[in-house]
Amino acid sequence: SKTSDKLSEFLESGVYRLEDSNAVFIDPVRVLNRSYTRFRVSPSAYYSRSFDSKHAGQEARVSSNFRKRKRKEKKPQPLNDRERAADQRHQEVRPFLLKAHESLVRATELLEVVSNLKGNLGPSTSSPGAEQSLVELGQVWQAPLYEITLNFHPNDNAREDGGAPTIQYCEQRAFPVFNNLVVNETSEDVEAELLNSRYILPPESSFYMSDLGQIHNLIPAESDCGFNLIVIDPPWENGSARQKQRYSTLPNRYFLSLPVKQICHTDGALVALWVTNREKLRGFVEKELFPAWGVKYVATFFWLKVKADGSLICDLDLFHHRPYECLLLGLVHGKVTDSKQLSSTKPKLPDNQIILSIPGDYSRKPPIAGLLHEYAPRLQRGRCIELFAREMTAGWISWGNEPLHFQESINFMKT
Ligand code: SAM
């Protein structure tokens, strides 16, 4: 039947297009696992925060406190201008979010699979937190001396001649780990060692681990080998990131000098920027940041966060805690490509697309590389890059001060 075709496609791809709405449900673990060859992302590691009863209890307490406090306030305060603007933004997207969520609730065959996810998880593993020390290590004067060792497993071609099977050998190569582009150019996963930790690098992926001060090294030497797809998830300042101290944040003015224009392909690029729901930030991006980068705003996608039972992670209308985040999409037009040529080569970017998924670790975004690909300008030598990345993606370059964070082998199982 039609429905079970859709479900089997989901089991294969991790993507389920919901009926009657601009929405897709994705299972990040299945999506990520499409590109690994010798390892699998472990669902219990990916979903440890969502399914851990200790964390879930904490979130419930926080929101019930919040409600209690709200009830005590007798007179509701009138909204100030900025709050009114934020509320208007919310009211505009609300019908799309509701419709998407209703379609998910109706997709019972999908929800059955998703709710079983929890039961099928093994014991949850907790990350030893070696990453923080890498951010610090990258800043000491000895940083250039640290090397990462990649263990390549060349395919055993020697058997083709009918001779005796040769012993599987492993070629090891060491590279400076900081301020250097480390590349897995093979079509297989590669295991890497750094200090006392092991990391899994997906096929045809690279990382450049550095502070913002070194980002100019990403500017391509030749003008026609820039990037045609750029995803950026900046460490915006906000209460929650600072409180929890998962990573350091930066004031907005630092992002104005990101060399987005300079790393774009000369024939144009699609830029996707994750933003928080703070109204002040939205104004900054629209009026200052996108213009400074030469990006023309085109559309917004929304990431709606749900639990394994399909319900939203919190009430849709809580003012200071929304169950969704926004991805702003814009285009950098190329030198040669006029808009007519661009539109003839790729589908038009739809507005208000909704991506539903169960959140992973704190601030970890769902894997959207595949969804964005079809909207990026199609170019001969186009490349993809993620800025402020905490993980690696097959076919992509990951830049940031902790691009190996989620690549640690503790997050993977061997197939
Ligand atoms: N997109 C990521 C994910 O899905 O897991 C989350 C990115 S997080 C919002 C921002 C990242 O920027 C953090 O990894 C943080 O360590 C990094 N960062 C903060 N300050 C930085 C700096 N000065 N240079 C480079 N990266 C920095």
Which residue type occupies 254?
Y
The answer, yes or no, to whether residue 103 has pLDDT greater than 90, is yes
Better-scored residue on pLDDT, 53 or 133 = 133
CB-based contact 233:275 (threshold 8 Å): no
| Mean pLDDT comparison of 59-68, 326-335, 377-386, highest-scoring range | 326-335
| Mean pLDDT comparison of 130-139, 176-185, 214-223, 319-328, highest-scoring range | 176-185
Q: Is 325 in the pocket of ligand 1 (CB under 6 A)?
A: no
- How do residues 38-93 score in pLDDT, each as one tens digit? 999 999 999 987 776 544 444 444 444 445 555 555 677 888 999 999 999 999 99
CA pair distance 39, 62, nearest whole angstrom:
37
Residue nearest ligand 1's atom 3 by CA: 364
Distance from Cα 229 to the centre of ligand 1, integer Å: 18
State residue 131's pLDDT score.
54
Share of the chain above pLDDT 70, in %: 81
Q: For helices 2-13 and 108-120, give the axis angle rounded to 10 degrees.
A: 40
Distance from Cα 366 to the centre of ligand 1, integer Å: 15
Q: Is 236 in the pocket of ligand 1 (CB under 6 A)?
A: no
Q: Is 400 in the pocket of ligand 1 (CB under 6 A)?
A: yes
Better-scored residue on pLDDT, 2 or 369 = 369
Please state the rounded mean pLDDT for residues 130-144: 84
Lowest mean pLDDT of 138-142, 203-207, 217-221, 375-379, name the range.
375-379
- How do residues 276-290 score in pLDDT, each as one tens digit? 999 999 999 999 999
CB-based contact 178:144 (threshold 8 Å): yes
The answer, yes or no, to whether residue 260 has pLDDT greater than 90, is yes
State residue 59's pLDDT score.
45
Tokens of 96: 């799309």
Please state the rounded mean pLDDT for residues 124-148: 79
State residue 57's pLDDT score.
43
Lowest mean pLDDT of 19-28, 70-79, 333-342, 395-404, name the range.
333-342
CB-based contact 191:171 (threshold 8 Å): no
Lowest mean pLDDT of 111-120, 138-147, 255-264, 289-298, name the range.
111-120
* Nearest atom of ligand 1 to the alpha carbon of 236: 9
State residue 60's pLDDT score.
43
Residue nearest ligand 1's atom 27 by CA: 401
Which residue type occupies 65?
N
Q: Which of 390, 397, 411 to mutate to test the pocket of ligand 1 (most atoms within 8 A of CB)?
A: 390
CB-based contact 203:187 (threshold 8 Å): yes
Tokens of 100: 């998407």
Q: Which of 247, 372, 385 to mutate to test the pocket of ligand 1 (most atoms within 8 A of CB)?
A: 247
Residue nearest ligand 1's atom 12 by CA: 388
Q: Is 212 in the pocket of ligand 1 (CB under 6 A)?
A: yes
* CA-based nearest residue to 63, from 313, 238, 247: 313
pLDDT band at 301, cuts 50/70/90?
very high
Task: Give the predicted TM-score (pTM) of the model.
Answer: 0.90
Tokens of 246: 């998962």
Q: ipTM beyond 0.90?
A: yes
Q: Where are the beta strands (DSSP E) in 233-388?
A: 268-275, 296-305, 324-333, 353-357, 383-387
Q: Is 364 in the pocket of ligand 1 (CB under 6 A)?
A: yes
CB-based contact 393:404 (threshold 8 Å): no
Q: Is 246 in the pocket of ligand 1 (CB under 6 A)?
A: no
pLDDT band at 158, cuts 50/70/90?
very low
Q: Is 204 in the pocket of ligand 1 (CB under 6 A)?
A: no
The whole-chain average pLDDT of the chain stands at 86
Better-scored residue on pLDDT, 291 or 245 = 291
Q: Is 257 in the pocket of ligand 1 (CB under 6 A)?
A: no
